[in-house]
Copies of this chain bind each other. A is one copy, B any other.
């Protein structure tokens, strides 16, 4: 039998338990030239919320009645592809289910499980979040030593890595997160130079707090949040600032798009905003992995994983991303 966590209704605003159903179905058939993957670990990401909407995006919406799409780590259960044999560990865009049938020509790739302390590193330090941090910062923001970077959602799976890579390349880092506990972690675990708690603060107060810490302005903004947090950051852009638009978690569950009010600062500061989707960098993932493995070995990069257990807990585990309950990269252990 195959347990599958299905999307059965498109969420309106915040996803509700009844938008999903955990069902048992027959094992999928092996597609010609394809694979059947036994999923072990799934990455839970804010981007999945976007795929639940019926809206134009960089990937088609998850069809209603289909299992929720997710990056997973798993083991090849059956193969009609000579490049894979049963027992191989793989990573790919699969789904929240025990077994996924992968058609020929997919992005599923083998991973070297012996090269890491634990498999979940392929979803955290070597996963999509880390690739997002690496390419968003180094390829889009192009940090120069001595520049100042503000990261929003700084304690999250992407933000915490962005801050650390920025330190490695010689930048000053400021992180914004929700709550004093997360702010403590920014300073102690992730090496940020300064931390700001956004909770309960209007834009003007938050902007003033940023200004006190970065009176010369922000050379770079790595944006994971949007809304009032981004608006406060925009009021502090330095001339020529680069904004990496990586996520807008504050509005993914809002009934209407929130957007930003302070776009005019992008104009007057000749700043730029760059939308980024990590899938565009898949051909270059190996290049990032080399650097990240070295930084891990040198103790320069610290990653945290928040592993929740059981496919039956997929809904509460996913919602931790939006309540801010997650501590590090949110992962679901399926088996």
Contacts and interface: CB of A to CB of B under 8 A. Distances in A.
Contacts of A231: 259
Contact of A271 (B50, B266, B268, B275): B275
Contact of A260 (B235, B245, B260): B260
A78 to B, nearest CB: 34
Contacts of A251: 264
A245 B226 contact: no
A57 interface: yes
Interface string A219-244: 00000001000010001000100000
Contacts of A280: 270
Nearest to A280: B270
Q: State the oligomeric state as a number of copies.
A: 2
Contacts of A264: 50, 226, 248, 251, 257, 259
Interface in A247-296: 247-248, 251, 256-277, 280
B259 A270 contact: no
Contact of A275 (B259, B269, B275, B277): B269
A33 B257 CA distance: 55
A56 interface: yes
B268 A277 contact: yes
Contacts of A248: 263-264, 267
B259 A260 contact: yes
Nearest to A230: B263
B226 A270 contact: no
Nearest to A273: B273
Contacts of A245: 263, 266-267
A263 B280 CA distance: 19
A137 to B, nearest CB: 16
A58 B277 contact: no
A245 B239 CA distance: 15
A59 to B, nearest CB: 9
A267 B261 contact: no
Contacts of A50: 264, 268
Contact of A272 (B257, B268, B275, B277): B275
B276 A274 contact: no
A263 B248 CA distance: 9
Given A268-B50, A268-B56, A270-B275, A260 B258 contact: no
Contacts of A269: 58, 275
Interface of A: 50, 56-58, 226, 231, 235, 239, 245-248, 251, 256-277, 280
Given A256-B261, A259-B261, A270-B275, 14 more contacts: A56-B235, A245-B266, A248-B263, A248-B264, A251-B264, A257-B261, A257-B264, A259-B264, A263-B273, A267-B276, A267-B277, A270-B274, A270-B276, A270-B280
Query: What are the nearest 9 A-B pairs in CB distance?
Result: A259-B261, A267-B275, A273-B273, A266-B275, A257-B261, A57-B268, A58-B268, A272-B274, A270-B275
